[in-house]
A and B are shown apart, each in its own frame.
Chain A
Amino acid sequence: MTKMGEGQGTSSTGSAPPGQLSRQRLLHLYRVMATIRRFEEVACQLLVDGKIPATLHASIGQEAVAAGVCEALEPADLIVTNHRGHGHCIAKGVDLKAMMAELMGKASGTNRGRGGSMHIADPAQGILGANGIVGGGIPIAVGAAYACRARESGQIVVCFFGDGAANEGGCHEAMNLASLWELPILFVCENNQYAEMTPQRVHTRVKDLSVRAGAYDMPGASVDGNDVVAVYAAVEAAVRRARAGGGPMLIECKTFRVRGHFEGDPQRYKTAEEVARWKEKDPLTLLKTSLTGPGGIPAGELEAIQQEIESAVREAVAFAEAAPLPSPDEVLTHVYAGA
């Protein structure tokens, strides 16, 4: 069980009670996670092929966090994400075609080619923006939550950030403010074991980042970030609490960044042993096994979903490749609003 201590940073790793999600919703989660996986695998290959002009930060291996968190949200809820945010955006409903076009720097991209992979924004889907500055989104998410509270909009905000961002000063400032004002926000710390190339044991004293919640007098919990049901259960309870005016919460999702900090990172800092250990815990494989286990669905059903994802991603790539590049004479457009 996930513990949620009131006013105390707590931590425990565990999974949600079985049967909390219908099979239909589990299949939906599988679809979201497999879409993220395939989208990023294809994008990484497009980078190698020279079709994407700058490096990517892939979230492969972390899909259960994005899917589990966003499953607990309403469409009107808001997210703020980071440089490793493709998965969060997909789970929140970004159009794959527009995001792939943005990765290629096309005029029909989500950001009209002005931002690229690290800056995907889609306000219509409640995606207030990814961010190229580690930790930069945390104070912004708190600002959005303040607006939701001040205007009594009923929305809540999820702020995705990593174990590296947890050590930025703005994180401390923002969490204090959010708790002080009891804002409707969830801080989702995606602990993928590495701050760029530096492992957690080198950059942070505490083992469970959720204990820091206690310093702000808000509840904290650490969950198995590779178990999508555990992530969902923790977030769903926190969302309910925040929506009822209970204030913020910090949820640490322990997961693993399968790829490098950036595509092309030789990853000399990882050991074969840890890679093998986390491979055993691959979130997509875990969900697949549980779905197709005794009394589960036939494997063919997942195959069919996989085929649909394959064609959706292929369609996104075709759209992006055919999309026009921005015209060089538009370099000054959008420096200022309405200009």
Chain B
Amino acid sequence: MRELKYWQAVNEALFEEMARDDRVCLAGEDVAEPGGPFGASRGLLDKFGPWRVKDTPISEAAIAGLAVGAALAGMRPVVEIMFLDFMCLAMDQVVNQAAKACYMSGGRLQLPITIRTLCGAGRNNGPQHSQSLEAWLCHVPGLKVVWPSTPADAKGLLKSAVRDENPVVVIDSLSLWTSKSPVPEGEFTIPIGKAEVKRPGSDATVVAVGSMVPRALAAAQRLAAEGIQVEVLDLRTLSPLDREAILASVAKTHRLVIAHDAVKPFGFGAEIAAMIAEEALEELDARVKRVAAPYAPVPFSPPLEGAYYPQASQIEAAVKMLLGA
């Protein structure tokens, strides 16, 4: 299979979905003439024209509102909020409008919206371009939240997001942007709401998403050398959470580590730990362990940022602790 970089897979998904359905349009800061702040929409303006591919002012509330209104009037908009941090500027439209329109109208209004955004974690982008705010979005009924970890997943999940009848936030990791791996050509979708076992194992489960998945896989590989078999469960979708997949993995391994770049308190790891406590406590042979960032803003300076984000070695240590190894 041919290989693509992550951003090329995103670009391919956008091309394919816009060609497939003329109701799909793209709007955001720098997406049209510049081809996307990081290249994801290169070539789209030339192919689909100035009314389907729009550069916007730096106006996140208007960008998100544009998506809501355009969807209400029959389009299937894809809009970009350049960094996840900037979602704060769009939150009324995302939380009070997009997420609730279907429910508030008793199903009479539907919003097939995709909001693409980028998490800048791990690239020394500092406190306002690095945050992992995914739990805020997951806490809002009506939204779906996906976070791919590979180029192939980026293509398959984005295509599914565009075809979904609900608002879907697609978070991409800047640290994965130029990673390269095989991506299926043409029609290829990945279901929203389904996790994937990226590496099977029997001794412990590590749940991760997005750019944490490669670190979990690295930890699993090193532990395998010591005879410890770790199962890496890539959630792919954070909301709706694939509870069955988590429960099934824990029923197999009886040990659970949840790793994320977001600060530990109130992160999505807390939801998973609570879910296990409520539904499968008897499956556990050890305490649940969360590997996450400390409760502080993201620092800029490399040694501080290095200390801030969880590394593969910390996942490794957490698994060993649970095994008493």
Contact = CB atoms under 8 A, between A and B. Distances in A.
A and B found bound together: yes
Contacts of A169: 61
A141 B52 CA distance: 18
A179 B139 CA distance: 35
Contacts of A80: 69
B65 A337 contact: no
B166 A337 contact: yes
Interface stretch (A170-178, A281-289, A317-325): A170-178
B221 to A, nearest CB: 38
A123 interface: yes
A173 B62 contact: yes
A151 B24 CA distance: 11
Contacts of A148: 73
B106 A336 contact: no
Interface string A2-23: 0000000000000000000000
A336 to B, nearest CB: 5
Contact of A139 (B64, B71, B108): B64
A122 B108 CA distance: 7
B210 interface: no
B67 interface: yes
Given A139-B68, A142-B65, A173-B61, A337 B107 contact: yes
Interface string B178-202: 0000000000000000000000000
Interface string A121-144: 111000011011100101111111
Interface stretch (B3-11, B90-98, B246-254): B90-98
Given A128-B72, A142-B62, A337 B57 contact: no
A181 B96 CA distance: 26
The binding surface of chain B is classed by DSSP as: mixed
Given A133-B96, A147-B69, A119 B56 contact: no
B106 A143 contact: no
Interface stretch (A108-116, A225-233, A292-300): A108-116
Nearest to A130: B104
Contacts of B104: 111, 114-115, 119, 121, 129
Most chain B CB within 10 A, of A123, A132, A173, is at: A173
A334 B103 contact: yes
B249 to A, nearest CB: 25
Most chain B CB within 10 A, of A109, A140, A148, is at: A140
B235 to A, nearest CB: 18
A176 B57 contact: yes
Interface string B61-102: 110111111111111010000000000000011001100011
A181 B66 CA distance: 12
B61 A139 contact: yes
Contacts of B54: 146, 181
A187 B104 CA distance: 24
B128 interface: no
B109 A128 contact: yes
B73 A144 contact: yes
Contact of B68 (A132, A140, A176, A336): A140
A20 to B, nearest CB: 30
Nearest to B67: A143
Contacts of B67: 143
A338 B105 contact: no
Contacts of A150: 25, 51-52, 70, 75
Given A115-B105, A121-B105, A334-B103, A128 B61 contact: no
Nearest to B89: A169
A230 to B, nearest CB: 28
B51 A149 contact: yes
B33 to A, nearest CB: 14
Given A112-B106, A146-B70, A335-B142, A139 B65 contact: yes
A170 B141 CA distance: 23
A153 B72 CA distance: 14
B59 A109 contact: no
Nearest to A326: B106
A237 interface: no
A103 to B, nearest CB: 14
A151 B74 contact: yes
B66 A143 contact: yes
A157 B74 CA distance: 14
Contacts of B110: 337
B69 A143 contact: yes
B165 interface: yes
Contact of A335 (B93, B97, B102): B102
Contact of B106 (A111, A153, A157): A111
Given A136-B92, A139-B68, A147-B74, 5 more contacts: A119-B105, A139-B65, A143-B70, A144-B72, A173-B59
12 contacts: A119-B105, A140-B65, A143-B73, A146-B66, A153-B73, A170-B92, A173-B61, A176-B59, A181-B54, A334-B103, A335-B142, A336-B165
